[in-house]
Every structure is written in C-alpha cells, then in structure tokens.
Amino acid sequence: MASKRSAAPAYVCTECGWTTAKWVGRCGECQQWGTVVEQGAKQGLEARSVPSLAPTSPARPITEVTTADAPRRRSGVGEFDRVLGGGVVPGVAILLSGEPGVGKSTLLLEVAARAAAEGRRVLYVSAEESVAQVRLRAERTNALQPSLFLASESDLATILGHIDAVEPDLLIVDSVQTVASSLLDGAAGMPGQVREVASTLIRVAKQRALPLVLVGHVTKDGSVAGPRVLEHLVDVVCQFEGDRQTSLRFIRALKNRFGPTDEVGCFEMAGDGIREVPDPSALFISQGEPASGTCVGISLEGKRALPVEVQALTIAGNPANPRRVVSGVDRARVDMVLAVLEKRAGVQTSNVDVYVSTVGGVRFTEPAADLAIAVAVAGALQEFTVPKSTAVAGELSLAGEVRPVTQAAQRRGEAKRLGYTAVVDDRQKTLHAALASLRGAPRRGRTRDEDIPKF
C-alpha cells in the first residue's frame, strides 16, 4: 500500500497570487520584491468552511440609510477641505504622498494645529523626527497648541498605546513606511510591514470613528512606495505636488470615496510655514502694463480655472539652426504652434530664435495653451499688444483651426469674474481670424478693445 504523500508547501505572491514551488525574492509575475511567502497546501476555497453567524444589525434598504451619523468636519485649512470634498469624514483614512521636501509634514502640522485650535485633541506621530525637531518646526510656523500631542515612535504597538492614552479626535502618522510591527519579520518599509501597519491603523480608525492621515513616500517615478494594496485600503489618496524652484504647491485627490477627484488645492510655501492661496491668479500674472509678446491664457487645474500669462521673446538668430527655449510649456506643442503660425497665418518664425515662458513658474501644458503661445509669439514678432482686459483659450489644429477646449464655459466664467471683458477662443474659427481680431487698429503696437468680441 502506497504511503500518503504530504502536500508540498507552495509559495504565493501576496500581491498578484502567482505561485511557485520554491521561494524566490522577486515575484515572476508582478516583479515585486519580498512579496512571495510560504503557504500551506490548501488555500482559499480549499480551506475549511466558515460557519455563518447572525448579524448584529440587519441589512437596510439604501433609501433608509442617512448620512447624519457621518457629518463632515472642517480641518481648518480651506484648500485641504476643498480637495477632500468639503471636510473630514469620521473614520476616514487619508494617504498623502509627495516628493521629499515638498512640504507634506509642514502642511499636516498646520492641519493639526488648526484642528487643535478648535478644541480637538490631535495626536501627531512622527517616526522620522524627534519631538524636539517637530517642536522647532511648530515654533517656526506658529503651530503651538496645548491640544496637539506629539510622539516619536516607529513601533506599531507603542503607537496604539498612545492612541489609547490620548484618545485623539485626529491621528496623523508620518510616515507609514517608517513604522514596523514586532509581530512580523522584516524591516520597516517592506511590503508586508507596510500592509500590516496600514491595515491595523485603518481598523482602529474605523472602530473609533477617528480620522487618520498617513504620510506616504514615493518612488522615483512618482508612485506611492510599498504594495499597491495600500492605496486600496485607504479612503482618500492625495498627492502633494510642487517645484522646489518655486513656492507654489498643489494638492489633488487621486482617489476619494467621499467626494470628487477633480478639485485642486493651492498653497504657497513661505519662511513661516505654508499659506493657503484661495485665488492664485495674481501669482501667474505680471502686475505691470501689458507689452508686446505677452498673452493671458486660461488654464484648468481640476475644476479650478486659472489665468496664466505666457511671455514670448524673439530675436534674430541663425536661420539654419534657430533656437527654441521654453519654460513652463510643452516644447513639442511650441514647435507645432510655430509651424502652424508660419504655414497658416503667414507669421515667419523659422529664421528667429524663440523663447517662451510662463509667469510664476506654473506649468501650462494642456492643449488650451496653443492659442496663448501663438498670440504671444505673433505679438513679439509683429509688435502688437494684447489688451489687459483680454484673455485667450483655444487649441490649434495643424490646419490652422481654433478648436474648442474642455469646460470652455467655466473658463470664460472665471475670466469674467477676474475682470477680463473679452475672451478669444474657438468663436474665432481660425488662427488668422483670432490674430486679426487682436491686432485691431493699424497703429503699431496698439490694439483697441472694441475690435475684440465681448462676452
């Protein structure tokens, strides 16, 4: 009689389910490191059956469910509330990611201070800095509040002990990749550790109706570091963006179970902390009188329409190899616009050096920037000035047609609110017609407002 052979252990990837007969350090399917673990012979449906239990509360029709038990509460930072959909929901788990040095910790310390100023107890856990270092930053940003509690811990069990002791109304953990659980092998930041830490903290937050904010590191390509399941576990994924060369910062929601994902919050980094910019239009517009080679375009960041000034400079160069230098705009779109200008509008650009830039360091790379770039370059070459009360928004086709842009009505509405009395867009069907309406009077360097279509 043949002896029974015991089931050989299998190794399975916790990310994608790929299996192998022996352990490997890297999954052969999803290429993730450290996700292959040993499992028993029987998994999933082959395991023993789970008995059913009587539910503690019966299921109800969705029409009878109210949202009175989950009211939103303001965080104290209006631009952050805008991105979250109006405020913080009890028990929400928020993941905030961003490049190193962009200002994640500064923003969250400001959120914690304003929440504490309203009488709420806030626990700020820093696994990367000591409490003295956090205190120094809080002094610089004027974020000292008696209801703001600090802890410097990297052990998950100790953090849970702090939660029991403080009983906070808001919990901030900076960052999830630097916290580890003693129940698992491996260093902090390993996929298993990140998954265990995040799931435990989220479970505690749901049980206590405690808003939780986790800071997440990013990889070289800008994605959140750690297992992909981290983004599935949380309710909101926010990305904090900004260029170190400028003080402007944007925060946008990549995932939001309780609100929209097309809102954008605007901030400005200063020496004493981070400031909200509810109306950032002044940051992207020069305050002097308009000059030739300048044009205001209407950009769209999420749902927010922003006026952005595009400036162009043209000088005589080497006709065999003219220079094209850009900043804040897409180089490929500038090359296309210059070709359309020369072929369809009769503006000679192939024999001059062209420099195109935006004001304030903002990036204006969407198709709506085409017409603003074309008008700025044509104005620099032909020495005409766009009136200060006029903005443009339009995409250019290779045939010289001015095409409509997304959410054109919203762009025109924002331009009108900011004092622009006319917008040149796809209502001027061709680039030639748009430039003709802006050139206006025959006098050199002048354009009359009455020559441009009004709202």
pLDDT at 105 over 80: yes
| Per-residue model confidence (pLDDT) at position 27 | 87
d(CA 170, CA 156): 17
Most confident region among 28-32, 241-245, 273-277 by mean pLDDT: 273-277
Encode pLDDT of 382-399 as tens digits: 999 999 889 999 999 999
Encode pLDDT of 413-440 as tens digits: 888 888 888 888 888 889 988 998 888 6
Q: Where along the chain do the CATH 3.30.230.10 domains lie?
A: 282-451
Q: Which fold has domain 282-451?
A: Ribosomal Protein S5; domain 2 (3.30.230)
Most confident region among 44-53, 156-165, 260-269 by mean pLDDT: 156-165
What is the rounded average pLDDT of the residues 288-303?
A: 87
pLDDT at 251 over 80: yes
- CA-based nearest residue to 168, from 127, 202, 211: 211
Confidence class for position 45, pLDDT limits 50, 70, 90: very low
For the entire predicted model, the pTM comes to: 0.73
- Alpha-carbon Rg of the chain, whole angstroms? 28
d(CA 379, CA 69): 58
Encode pLDDT of 333-391 as tens digits: 999 999 999 999 999 999 999 999 998 878 899 999 999 999 999 999 999 999 988 99
The architecture that CATH gives domain 71-278 is 3-Layer(aba) Sandwich (3.40)
| Per-residue model confidence (pLDDT) at position 395 | 95
| Per-residue model confidence (pLDDT) at position 41 | 40
HSE, CB side, 13 Å, CA atoms: give it for residue 238. 30
pLDDT at 446 over 70: no
d(CA 206, CA 92): 7
Q: Where along the chain do the CATH 3.40.50.300 domains lie?
A: 71-278
What is the rounded average pLDDT of the residues 273-296?
A: 84
211-212-213 Cα angle (round to 5): 130
Contact indicator for 106, 274 with CB cutoff of 8 Å: yes
Encode pLDDT of 70-103 as tens digits: 688 898 899 999 999 889 999 999 999 999 888 9
More confident residue, 9 or 131: 131
